[in-house]
Amino acid sequence: MSFSSFKNPATYHLLSYGTLLGSTLFQSFVSGIVAFRVLPRPQFSTLQKHTFPVYFTLQTLTPVVMLLTYPRGGAPSLLPFLSSSPMPQTATDNLSSWLHTTMFLTALLNWVYIGPKTTEVMGLRKHQETRDGKKSYDAGPHSKEMQALNKQFGILHGVSSLVNMVGLGAMIWEVQYRQLVSRAVTQRLHSPSLDDPTKTDVANKLAHPLKTWETQERSIARHKARIEAKMLDIPWTQFIRDVERATLEVHVLTQTRYEAPCGDRTKNQEASTTNEGVLYKLGGLKDMEEDKEWKKKDAAVYNMLKAFQGARCRD
C-alpha cells in the first residue's frame, strides 16, 4: 500500500473541506432540528450551549487548513501578498480566495461575537425566569425585561443562522466551480473544435459516426459549461485558461495526469511517463493479473471502451 497521498497537502485540503461542509450540513439541518424536537427545552438549551463553541471553532479552523493546503501552491496562491514573488492568480484562485475568506469570517464572527453574546443573553433570561416565576417560552404576558431579552435572543439567533447560511453558500460555491473545471478537463470542453461542430463534413460523419456522436455530446456539454460559468460570473476566457492549467496538474489522491487527445503525442509524453510510473502503485502483481482477467472476461465492455478510445484518437 502506498502512503504517497498522505504526503500531498491537497489530500488534507479535501479532508478539511469535507469536514467543514459535512459538519455544517449536519449541524444546520439534522442535529439541531432533531434535538429541538426530542429534547425538553432546558436540555436542548444546555446541549446547544456546549455544542456551538466547538462547532464554531471547527468552522473557523478548517478554512485556515484549507488555505494552507490549497492545491495550487498553498496560501500564497490565494493571498499573493504573502509571497515575495507572487504568481498571477487565475479565475479559480481569485474566486477561491474570496470564498475561503467568506467561510473564515462568517465562522469567526459566530465564534468570537454572536455565539458568546447569545450565550450571555440565555444566561440573563435564566435569571429573569427566576425573578418572574415563569419560563421565557411560556405563554404571555411576560415582563418588559423578559420581552426585551426574548427579542434580543431572537435577533442574535437569526443573525447567527443567516451568517451560517452565508458561509454554507460559500462552501457550495467553492466546489461547484471546481467540479465545472474538472468536467471540462475530462470532456476536453476547451477544445476550439467544439465552437462550431456543424462544420463537420457529411463524409466524415458517415465514416466516423461514433466520433460525430461524441462531438455533439461534448458540444452540448460545452454550451452548458458556458452557462454555468456565466452564472458564477467567470469570463469564458478565464475559464478556458483554468481548464488548460488543470490539464497539467495531477490528480489529488491518485497521482496520475490527465492525458491530451491521442493524436497530440507531444502533450501526452509527460503525462504518460507520469502515469506509467504509478501504474498499480496501490496494489501489486495480483492487481495486474485481475486487470488482464477482466479484459478477457468482459471482452465486450473492454472492446466498447477501446472503440471510444479510437474515436477520441481521431481528433
Q: What is the pLDDT of residue 91?
A: 67
Query: Is pLDDT above 80 for 48?
Result: yes
As a whole number, mean pLDDT of residues 206-221 equals 73
CA distance linking residue 279 with residue 288, whole number of Å? 9
Task: Indicate if the pLDDT at residue 172 is higher than 80.
Answer: yes
pLDDT in tens, 3-41: 556 777 778 888 999 999 999 999 999 999 999 999 998
Q: What is the value of pTM for the model shown?
A: 0.68
Whole-Å CA distances, 165 to 16, 51, 152, 156, 168:
18, 18, 20, 14, 5
The residue among 138, 123, 143 whose CA lies nearest residue 46 is 123
Whether residue 155 has pLDDT greater than 70: yes
* pLDDT (tens digit per residue) in 77-111: 777 777 767 666 666 777 888 899 999 999 999 99
Partners of 257 in the β-ladder: 250
Check residue 255 and give its pLDDT.
45
3-state DSSP: the chain helix, strand, coil percent, rounded to 5?
75, 0, 25
Structure confidence at residue 310 (pLDDT): 55
Exposed (0-12), middle (13-18) or buried (19+): which is 85, by Cβ within 10 Å? exposed
Span 231-255, pLDDT tens digits: 878 888 888 888 887 777 655 444 4
- Percent of the chain at pLDDT > 90 equals 31
Residue 202 has pLDDT above 70, yes or no: no
- CA angle, 132 as apex, 128 and 137 as ends, to 5°? 75
At 189, phi and psi to the nearest 5? Answer: -75, -10
Q: Name beta bridge partners: 250.
A: 257
